[in-house]
Amino acid sequence: MDYNSKLRLDGKVALVTGAGQGIGLACAQALAATGADVICTDLDEERAMAAAEHLRTDGHKARGIALNVTDRAALEEMAQAMPALDILVCNAGIVTTRSAAEMPADEWDAVINVNLTGVFRCCQAFGRQMVTAGRGAIVNIGSMSGQIVNTPQPQSHYNASKAGVHQLTRSLAVEWATRGVRVNAVAPTYIATPLLDNVEGGDALVARWKDLTPMARLGEPHEVASAVQFLASDAASLITGSILNVDGGYTCL
């Protein structure tokens, strides 16, 4: 058995949502570095283009496209206009900090729309093509927030959205298990990305999070990307419906 070649993605086409920065950018880099032709998409068109340019500068195949995961028509149009993807990484996500008692309806809706409904719409539009082609691997970016309740910051909308992503992942995995399409998720701990800028609390909050983590540190985007790369590859050929914790041991406690 050639174990090294099972991890390679040569000749495969991958699409990453929210690839403009943070975990999505690292996923795009990991997939490209192991041979995939990567479509970097993001709500922010400049970021999508810059991500693709960055990969090309490193000698990889990549293109950038603006894509809002809440725009169902755009997703369907893009999926219909291209051959079936080999790999889809549903990464785009947002967070705010708000107690449930004070949460405006539009803030709840925005987080659910991007983090949960956006993942479903992407899986539906691109997964349908994969099922027709009889092959594909989807990796959704969930969160440990889908399994634990973060403290001390209140974020019920985010936690609920990520629990939904995990159960959606398992549901699609079972639906498509005999159709050649694997569906998995990763569940990261706190990762040092611009997303954390939207969580109020600063250094004191980060210190508290480290206290709660057995490895006593935040994660780096590349550490999540390596897990995604593995799940997207043939090295994970028997793995579907899994939620892989990438959390420094946080959920053990």
Point out which residues bind ligand NAD (CB under 6 A): 17-18, 20-24, 42-44, 47, 67-70, 91-94, 114, 118, 141, 143, 188, 190-191, 193-196
Residue 174 class from Cβ within 10 Å (0-12 exposed, 13-18 middle, 19+ buried)? exposed
| 158 flagged as catalytic | yes
Residue pair 62/29 in contact (Cβ under 8 Å)? The answer is: no
Residue closer to ligand NAD (CB basis): 118 or 154: 118
**Shortest Å, Cβ 3 to ligand NAD:** 28
Give CA–CA dist 42/82, Å, rounded: 17
Per the CB < 8 A criterion, the answer to whether 141 and 121 are in contact is: no
Q: How far is the CB of 185 from ligand NAD (least distance, A)?
A: 10
Instruction: State the pairing for strand pair 181-188/136-141.
Output: parallel
**Considering beta carbons, is residue 53 or 133 the nearer one to ligand NAD?**
53
What 8-state DSSP symbol labels residue 141?
E
Which of 3, 158, 190, 250 is catalytic? The answer is: 158
- Of the pair 78, 191, the CB lying nearest ligand NAD is at 191
Shortest Cβ 176–ligand NAD spacing (Å): 21
Q: CB 137 → ligand NAD: shortest distance, Å?
A: 18
Nearer to ligand NAD, 131 or 196 (CB): 196
Quote the crossing angle between the two packed helices 118-133 and 156-175, to the nearest 10°: 10
- Closer CB to ligand NAD, 126 or 190, in the complex: 190
Q: Minimum distance from CB of 80 to ligand NAD (Å)? A: 19
**Contacts of residue 245, Cβ cutoff 8 Å, sequence gap at least 6:** 144, 147, 186, 187, 251
Q: Sheet containing 243-246: which strands, arranged edge to edge?
A: 62-66, 37-42, 13-16, 87-90, 136-141, 181-188, 243-246
- Point out the residues that are catalytic: 158
